[in-house]
Amino acid sequence: MYNKAVSNVNKLRKIEASPYFTERLNEAQLEVERREATEKGIKEGAEREREKWLGVVAVKDVEILNQAAEIAELRRRLGENK
């Protein structure tokens, strides 16, 4: 049956174009696209989360630098008052 089906190119093309094969192909393509979209979403989400936390860390770094400057100023003033 297989040999008979593939012996004629026109019959083979007709089989390939049948709904059974095209639907299976579409399902497989959709599955690949879903998987790729999920992976991309996870990657983009992780990148956004990373950027958010980098921003938080940068703000905290500035706060720490400001506090260190205030402490240095207070130490300088205390040193002058001795």
Summarize pLDDT for 27-79 with one digit per residue, the tens: 888 889 889 999 998 999 999 999 999 999 999 999 999 999 999 999 999 88
Compute, in degrees rounded to 10, the torsion defined by CA atoms 39, 44, 50, 51: 170
Domain that holds residue 23: 2-81
Contact of 21 with 15, CB cutoff 8 Å: yes
Q: Looking at the predicted structure, is the pLDDT value of residue 82 above 60?
A: no
Which pLDDT score, from 0 to 100, does residue 7 have? 80
Instruction: Quote the CA–CA distance of 56 and 60 in Å, as a whole number.
Output: 6
Give φ, ψ of 13 to 5 degrees. Answer: -65, -40
- Both tokens assigned to 21: 């094969």
Q: What's the structural domain count of the chain? A: 1
Of 69 and 2, the one with more pLDDT: 69
